[in-house]
Amino acid sequence: MRYALIAALIAAPALSLAGPAEKTVEARQGYFKLLGANMGVLAGMAQGKVDYDADAAQTAADNMVVLSTYKLAPLFAPGTSSDDVKDTRALPAIWKDLPGVTAKASDFGAAARAMQDVAGKGKGEMAGALGALGGSCKGCHTAYRAE
Amino acid sequence: MTKQIPEGVSQVKLWDVGTRLFHWSLVICVCSAWFLGKFGPNIMTLHFYFGYAVIALLVFRIVWGLFGPAPARFSHFLFGPAATLRYAKTLKNPTPSYWPGHNPIGALSVFAMLAALIVQVSTGLFADPDDYINVGPLADMVSSEANRSATKLHHQMALLIAVFVVLHVAAIAFYKRYKGENLVTPMLTGWKLVRKDKG
């Protein structure tokens, strides 16, 4: 009885934590799916897979800027790294280097605003801004995402 | 040739111009692709071009290995374990090997390097690092799981290739300094001192 109680006391927080951490990971992946959906629109046009459409490009760029202002702290709650939760590639390095992550996030914000300025002005202008924007994706993946 | 040529050894045209051009082009393309991959700009267009050049060079080397001049042919430097061990035992002798081609240990390095590069260019074609600016040209043909595995393997192989290159250069330095055999000049001019009894 006493052991059962101790076991329950140990297990209870673990069980109650498992749910929210996984939900946080799902929400976080949703955030990156949104980024990917809008990046996909811009990259598709830049690579000529779809015809350039100024309005669609501007919408995607506007959305990227909105997403870049999203407050990310809750999505990166402690205890949601690849060490804690299955099916996430978010490395513990993120939580060990929050200033580095913040700097990369602000690089992304700047690249998104630069894209917003030119996305509707023509395919060449849009494609020119895509390098820095994609580079800001790459910068984070290299440092903070499991391969 | 002012230097005295030892008995039983002669100066022969060992490496044909195709093999030599292949070798040094591969040096340039692999090094360029490697450094551009690690330290290059975010948009990796040049890395891709050097990768395509490596594919072309590998195709050439395989054709040359099957139908090219004798010393360049795979069959010429395919050795069994016994021959390889026998050669390995002579490595400690501080004398030139005068080997007429890729020696049994060097041959291992040739095959390892070619295999590693084949894996490297293949995974590169299917890699997708999710940055929307650098996507392997064949990435759309496979699942995103496969894209991910290819990307991971591509990064791991880069390390292995660097190790192979360092080992290769170290071996060349070892032959020069310890065994007194220059292997660089033959790869430039084609002419090498080799044993008369073999090859």
Mean pLDDT across the stretch B115-125? 98
Domain ranges of chain B: 9-71+90-193
Interface of A with B (CB under 8 A): 36, 39-40, 42-43, 130-132, 134-135, 137-139, 141, 147
Q: Which fold has domain A20-144?
A: Four Helix Bundle (Hemerythrin (Met), subunit A) (1.20.120)
Q: Answer whether B133 sits within 8 Å of A130, measured CB to CB.
A: yes
What do you get for the CA distance between the two ends of chain B, in Å? 22
Using a CB-CB cut-off of 8 Å, the residues of chain B touching A42 are 132
- The count of C-alpha atoms lying within 13 angstroms of the C-alpha of A138, restricted to the half-sphere facing its C-beta, is 23
CB contact under 8 A, B131 and A40: no
Nearest-Å Rg of the Cα atoms of chain B is 19
Of the pLDDT bands very low, low, confident and very high (cuts 50, 70, 90), residue B196 is confident
Residues of A in contact with B155 (CB under 8 A): 147
Residues of B in contact with A141 (CB under 8 A): 129-131
Determine the topology of domain B9-71+90-193 in CATH: Fumarate Reductase Cytochrome B subunit (1.20.950)
CB contact under 8 A, A138 and B129: yes
pLDDT tens per residue, range B130-174: 999 999 999 999 999 999 999 999 999 999 999 999 999 999 999
Binding residues of A for heme c: 137, 140-141
CB contact under 8 A, B43 and A134: yes
Lowest mean pLDDT among B45-59, B126-140, B168-182: B126-140
Integer Cα distance of B118 and A126 in angstroms: 35
For residue B195, the SS3 value is strand
Cα–Cα distance measured from residue A140 to residue B197, given in angstroms and rounded to the nearest whole number = 60
| pLDDT score at A50 | 94
Q: Which two tokens stand for residue B86?
A: 């026998």
- CB A134 to CB B131 under 8 A? yes
| B42: closest chain A residue by CA | A135
Distance from C-alpha of B186 to C-alpha of B195, rounded to nearest angstrom: 14
Summarize the annotated binding site of A as residue ranges. Answer: 137, 140-141
* CB under 8 A, 24+ apart: contacts of B145-148: B148/A147
Instruction: Say yes or no to pLDDT of A17 above 60.
Output: no
Tell me the nearest-neighbour CA distance from A130 into chain B, angstroms. Answer: 7
Nearest to B42 among A39, A43, A131 (CB): A131
Is the Cβ–Cβ distance between A135 and B133 less than 8 Å? yes
What tokens appear for B73 in the block? Answer: 């042919």
B4 confidence band (pLDDT: 50, 70, 90)? confident
pLDDT at position A108, please? 96
pLDDT tens, position by position, A48-92: 999 999 999 999 999 999 999 999 999 999 999 999 999 999 999
Higher pLDDT, B92 or A11: B92
Q: What is the pLDDT of residue B57?
A: 98
Strand partners, B13: B191
- Predicted local confidence at residue B7, as pLDDT: 86
Q: Is the pLDDT of residue B2 over 60?
A: no
Average pLDDT, chain B: 94
- pLDDT at position B199: 42
**Mean per-residue pLDDT, B112-120:** 98
In chain A, the residue whose alpha carbon lies closest to the alpha carbon of B129 is A138
pLDDT band at A2 (very low <50, low <70, confident <90, very high): low
Q: What is the ipTM of this complex?
A: 0.74
**Interchain proximity A42–B148, CB inside 8 Å:** no
Residue A145 is classified by DSSP as B
pLDDT value at position A19? 82
